[in-house]
Structure 1
C-alpha cells in the first residue's frame, strides 16, 4: 500500500469559486488580525503565507514558494496553474519587494508556510474568507474567537 501526505479535508465551500471571486473575498478578508504587516493601502502585504495555507486547507492543490531576499514568498498551484493571490502587494504602496518577481515555484509544505503564522491569524482569515464566499461556518476551526 502506497501512502503519501494526507489529503486536506473536503472543502467546506460551495463548488470552487473562480479566481476573481477569491481575490475579491481575500481583499476584504485581510486585516491586521490576519498579518501584522497589513496596510490599508496595501491589504495583501505580509499575507502570503497565511493566505497560501488557508487556500490549501480549503481548496487543496499545492503550496509553492519563491525566495525574495532573505524571506520566502508563498502562493498556490492547482494542476499546472500557479495562482499568487497576494501578488497585488508588490505593486501597491508600502511594498516590501518590487515587481516583477521571478517565481521559483518550489513545492513546499503547509507547515513551512505556517511558520511564523499564529493560529489565530489563520483562523481569522479562514473564517472571513469562508464567510465572504458564502460557505457554511459550522466548523469550530472557523471561529477565531474559540
Structure 2
C-alpha cells in the first residue's frame, strides 16, 4: 500500500463512491446528493486497509427500532473516523459501539469492496 494521508484517502473515497460500491439494500436510496449512503462497511474496510486499527459497528435506529448497522473506524491512536456518518437523516440514530473483527472469507459485499478498493488505489497511486 502506498503511504497516504487521511485527507488524501478521504478525498479518494468520496470520489469513488457510487451505486456499485453501495450495500445492495441501500442502492435504491443512493443519490449523488447523498453519496455516502450505503458505503459504510466497504469504506471502513478500505480505511482499515491503509491505517489499520479497529472496525466499529453500531446500530441504526428509526423510531426506537433497529433498522440496520453502521460501520466506522477506530485508528490505532484512538481516533474515531466515520467518513459516512452524513448518510443518515435526522430520523436515523446510530447507537452503540462494538469493536468487531475484520471479516475473513467471502462476504456479501465482496464485489462492492473490490470496486471501491480498486478505484481508491487508482486515485492515490
* TM-score category, normalised to shorter length: 0.7 to 0.9
User: TM-score, normalized by length of structure 2?
Assistant: 0.77
Name the SS for the 1:104 alignment partner: strand
When the two chains are superposed, the root-mean-square deviation of aligned CA atoms in Å is 2.2
Aligned to 1:87: 85
Query: Given the alignment of the two structures, is residue 70 of structure 1 paired with residue 76 of structure 2, yes or no?
Result: no
- Higher share of residues assigned strand: 2
Q: 1:89 Cα shift?
A: 1.3
**CA offset digits 1:84-142 (Å, max 9, x no partner):** 0112212xxxxxx4278455231012229x8531x2211110011112222xxxxxxxx
Tell which structure's C-alpha radius of gyration is larger.
Answer: 1
- CA distance in 1 between counterparts of 2:15 and 2:94 reads 27
> What TM-score do you get using the length of structure 1 for normalisation?
0.67
* Unaligned residue ranges in structure 2 (runs of 5+): 61-65
The gaps in structure 1 that reach 5 residues or longer are: 1-11, 91-96, 135-146
What secondary structure does 2:31 align onto? coil
What pairs with 1:1-146 in structure 2 (closer than 5 Å)? Answer: 12-14=1-3, 16-18=4-6, 20-35=7-22, 36=24, 37=27, 38-68=30-60, 69-78=66-75, 79-90=77-88, 97-98=89-90, 101-111=93-103, 115-117=107-109, 119-134=110-125
- Between the two proteins, the alignment pairs up a number of residues equal to 113
Whether the 8 Å CA contact 2:17–2:116 is kept in 1: the answer is yes
Cα distance in 2 between the residues matched to 1:132 and 1:42: 21
Structure with the higher fraction of residues in helix conformation? 2
